Structure 1
Amino acid sequence: MIKPGKTLGAAVMLAALLVALSGCQKKEGPVEQAGKKVDEATQKVGQEIEKAGDKIQDATQGDKK
């Protein structure tokens, strides 16, 4: 049979370990931040190109009607 004191102690130690590990996450450096900005900009450009393509397609469909 498991004693309540041991269970509580194990839970406290597990919680302390989780808090310690979450504090060890590596911070992003300037290169990683710049990379994220490039990714976001690339995604925005891709969306704008897709919108332009849709407009061109809609315009050509309108001429066919």
Structure 2
Amino acid sequence: MKKIISVASAAVLALGVVACDGANENAMEDEGEQAAEVVNDQAEAMEDAGMISDDQADAMTDAAEDRADAMEETGEAMDEAAE
């Protein structure tokens, strides 16, 4: 359920801000989101296999989402510097 909510929220947010984002920001955001999805899938698989707890899986996903946010901010700064 968390994954569905996360994906839906990300999709709505992306649609809302695409028009005002620069090319670098969009590219870095996409790359970060894809990487975060991979980590989320890995964390869920590890949790399902009993290798980690739910809290550990959540922490992995949160860290990946934080990295994705940082990548987006870096892209935004690159776009602003180019203006």
Q: Structure 2 length normalisation: TM-score? A: 0.37
Structure of greater relative contact order (alpha carbons < 8 Å, 6+ residues apart): 2
Structure number with the higher helix fraction is 2
Determine which structure has more spread, i.e. the larger CA radius of gyration: 1
